[in-house]
Amino acid sequence: MISCDYDDGSFSNNTYNKLFGGSPSNIAMNVKKLEAKSIVASAIGEDGLRKKIADIANYL
């Protein structure tokens, strides 16, 4: 998640955008754009973001 507003490090921001990403997924998506096969082996939790992450990963 990425905060919608600047946060000075006090962690006072309560508004975030849910975005799929991170180093492993970024690499896999860019490798796919080069028309090579890629795979990410990972685990996701049982929280509220689980379904969104799974839907995006299955789409790719």
Bridge-partner residues for 2, per DSSP?
A: 17
Please report whether residue 48 resides in a domain: yes
Tell me if the pTM is above 0.75.
no
Bridge-partner residues for 3, per DSSP?
A: 16
The number of domains in the chain is 1
Question: Considering just the CA atoms, what is the radius of gyration of the chain in Å?
Answer: 14
pLDDT at 45 over 80: yes
Please report whether residue 1 resides in a domain: no
Task: Note down the domain range covering 52.
Answer: 21-60
pLDDT band per the 50, 70, 90 thresholds, residue 42: confident
Whether the Cβ atoms of residue 56 and residue 42 lie closer than 8 Å to each other: no
